[in-house]
Structure 1
Amino acid sequence: MEKKYDYLIVGAGLFGSVFAHEATKAGKKCLVIDKRDHKGGNIYCENVNGINVHKYGAHIFHTSNKEIWEYVNQFAEFNRYTNSPVANYYGEMYNLPFNMNTFYQLWKVKTPEEAKKKINEQVGQHAVLNPANLEEQALSLVGEDIYNKLIKGYTEKQWGRSAKDLPAFIIKRLPLRFTFDNNYFDDKYQGIPVGGYNVIIDKMLEGTEVLLNTDFFQRKDYFTGMAEKVVYTGMIDQYFDYCHGKLEYRSLKFEHEHLDTPNYQGNAVVNYTDSETPFTRIIEHKHFEFGTQHDTIITREYPNEWTDQEEPYYPINDTRNSEVYLLYKDKAAQETNVIFGGRLAEYKYYDMHHVIAHALKKVRTELKQAE
């Protein structure tokens, strides 16, 4: 029986949209389905009073890959936004990432030599050759002041565990910049799409059939039978009916608030690094696009344990979960008519530029093999 579509793409997020765009451009017929009521996955923006609200957390595009930068720029114009978050520790304000501004705010040091001396003194007091946990790792890298004020509380809220119970590999390194530079990313290209990320997704999916509010697993056999191949971007353990057990994630809850003020916090992202504030950060969305509206919208971000009723965000790549994922990865490799891709299908946290690069690699390989 002839199939109606060349590809059924499960998930209208960034990976699925890139794959659909390239396949459609190559003359393939695609159907994209998503259980949500909107396209774009976690980069979806909701326009409220002219402000593009990042509904699933802040997304700042950055890359040093010129090909990827040129690729996304065909879909939208990007502004000059530079990610320069600020940390609030019990009302004390510090610049991030850790740079000369941060060191001056901590210790009033004015030169790189003074800052290095202070850090080395503190690191020397906590040097551990083989750190057994995240706390030991961080103290060995930056010392107690930076750790206690800017890392400990934030990290423990993020993961819902004591830093002493978290594996050391979560913090492989902590970049220290001995310049007065608040640019969080080192990448050559950075910005926010003018008009929000919906502009990009809408253009990527032009000419592709899309069904929203459609749960793949409610009619899995039906949808699978419609296409020659399936591109699956959902949870890999769910695809295989959790036969090897469930993979674990951290999740997030968002509390959006409209405020009758033109400027609430003076920055797009403020991290709350103390242990008592229940949320990890506040996002003020208008600052991503230099908004001049008379009002503003903020979002408080609360990390929490993931359940089946929550959206999975951060894979917990500890020993147990890594071993379980490898079992699913082996099963995925045996599926000749299913392409697995994206953060949930590969149980890996990707930045947006990584998702695009990986999707392009997979779709180009697929299209070449289909010739």
Structure 2
Amino acid sequence: MTEFDVLIVGSGLFGSVFAHECRKAGKKVLVIDRRPHSGGNIYCENVNGINVHKYGAHIFHTNDKPIWDYVNSFVAFNNYVNSPLAVYKDELYNLPFNMNTFHQLWKVKTPQEAKAIIDRQVADLNITEPQNLEEQALSLVGPDIYEKLIKGYTEKQWGRKASELPAFIIKRLPLRFAYNNNYFNDRYQGIPIGGYNKLTKGLLSWLIS
């Protein structure tokens, strides 16, 4: 019977990195996973030549160059920058909320104009103690942003009316008063070329299954 120094439950990104580093340190490692594949939630399925993120989209991002160099030592990353677009009644709006979004909503051009509209809309509601998610969001960004860019997505995500959800779910909503559609602020961002499976397979290349 083979004896191991380390048992790792789960072969997601954390488990795969930990297993790799233990192996480098000379430890005998056993990795087990309840799923029939490695990679955890970053696992990709190849569908007609496209690497589909099976458990939801994952964009790797960090400000730490050693971490960026580490993952790139297993697989090259592209320079993907996440700049989502929201569709509301056939109109497109940039996310996260930034000056491009505010210009699309109100045709304003300066941060001062955008802040004035938001402050006025919030003040008109006079919500002092939000009782649910809807009131919390309205008290942060006003009705225009809430109705067009928050309400529908939130209710679809939770499967309930926003007025039935607790206020603490939304503690803040990031507002960027600059023309910047980049979802993240980190210096290094990207997705592995060929999919995340190449990253986890590189980390676990020593593993005999």
Indicate whether the TM-score tops 0.5: yes
- Which category of TM-score, normalised to the shorter sequence, fits these structures? over 0.9
- CA distance in 1 between counterparts of 2:126 and 2:179 reads 27
Aligned equivalent of 2:87? 88
Task: After superposition, give the CA deviation of every residue in 1:237-261 in whole Å (9 maximum; x if it has no partner).
Answer: xxxxxxxxxxxxxxxxxxxxxxxxx
Is the 8 Å Cα contact of residues 29 and 208 (structure 1) preserved in structure 2? no
Return the letter of the residue paired with 1:63.
T
Deviation at 1:127, TM superposition (A): 4.0
TM-score of the two chains, using structure 2 as the length reference: 0.93
Is the 8 Å Cα contact of residues 30 and 209 (structure 1) preserved in structure 2? no
Q: Is the strand fraction higher in 1 or 2? A: 1
Deviation at 1:206, TM superposition (A): 1.5
Change in CA separation of 1:127 and 1:75 when aligned onto 2, cut-off 3 Å: farther
Aligned equivalent of 1:199? 198
Aligned equivalent of 1:47? 46
Secondary structure (helix, strand or coil) at the match of 2:5 reads: strand
Deviation at 1:3, TM superposition (A): 6.2
Aligned equivalent of 2:155? 156
Secondary structure (helix, strand or coil) at the match of 2:194 reads: coil
- CA distance in 1 between counterparts of 2:2 and 2:46 reads 38
- CA distance in 2 between counterparts of 1:165 and 1:200 reads 41
Aligned equivalent of 1:27? 26
| Structure 2 counterparts to residues 54-65 of structure 1, below 5 A | 54-65=53-64
| Structure 2 counterparts to residues 95-106 of structure 1, below 5 A | 95-106=94-105
Deviation at 1:64, TM superposition (A): 2.1
Q: Is the helix fraction higher in 1 or 2? A: 2
Percent identity, please.
70
Secondary structure (helix, strand or coil) at the match of 1:209 reads: coil
Return the letter of the residue paired with 2:138.
L
Task: After superposition, give the CA deviation of every residue in 1:17-66 in whole Å (9 maximum; x if it has no partner).
Answer: 11111111111111212232221111111223332111221111112233
- CA distance in 1 between counterparts of 2:171 and 2:2 reads 48
Aligned equivalent of 1:36? 35
Return the letter of the residue paired with 2:179.
F
| Structure 2 counterparts to residues 337-356 of structure 1, below 5 A | none
Deviation at 1:176, TM superposition (A): 1.0
- CA distance in 2 between counterparts of 1:88 and 1:64 reads 31
TM-score of the two chains, using structure 1 as the length reference: 0.54
- CA distance in 1 between counterparts of 2:180 and 2:128 reads 31
Return the letter of the residue paired with 2:170.
I
Task: After superposition, give the CA deviation of every residue in 1:224-243 in whole Å (9 maximum; x if it has no partner).
Answer: xxxxxxxxxxxxxxxxxxxx
5+ residue gaps, structure 1? 211-371
Is the 8 Å Cα contact of residues 43 and 55 (structure 1) preserved in structure 2? yes
Return the letter of the residue paired with 1:205.
L
| Structure 2 counterparts to residues 209-248 of structure 1, below 5 A | 209-210=208-209
Change in CA separation of 1:127 and 1:3 when aligned onto 2, cut-off 3 Å: farther
Deviation at 1:90, TM superposition (A): 2.6
Return the letter of the residue paired with 1:13.
G
Is the 8 Å Cα contact of residues 20 and 208 (structure 1) preserved in structure 2? no
Secondary structure (helix, strand or coil) at the match of 1:97 reads: coil
Total equivalences in the alignment: 209
- CA distance in 2 between counterparts of 1:129 and 1:69 reads 44
Return the letter of the residue paired with 1:113.
Q
Aligned equivalent of 1:72? 71
- CA distance in 2 between counterparts of 1:65 and 1:39 reads 25
- CA distance in 1 between counterparts of 2:208 and 2:78 reads 30
- CA distance in 2 between counterparts of 1:51 and 1:6 reads 38
Secondary structure (helix, strand or coil) at the match of 2:113 reads: helix
Return the letter of the residue paired with 1:87.
A
- CA distance in 2 between counterparts of 1:93 and 1:150 reads 10
Aligned equivalent of 2:121? 122
- CA distance in 2 between counterparts of 1:67 and 1:174 reads 31
Return the letter of the residue paired with 2:66.
E
Return the letter of the residue paired with 1:85.
P
Aligned equivalent of 1:244? none
Is the 8 Å Cα contact of residues 17 and 204 (structure 1) preserved in structure 2? yes
Aligned equivalent of 1:357? none
Return the letter of the residue paired with 1:61.
F
Return the letter of the residue paired with 1:11.
G
Return the letter of the residue paired with 2:69.
E
- CA distance in 1 between counterparts of 2:161 and 2:2 reads 52
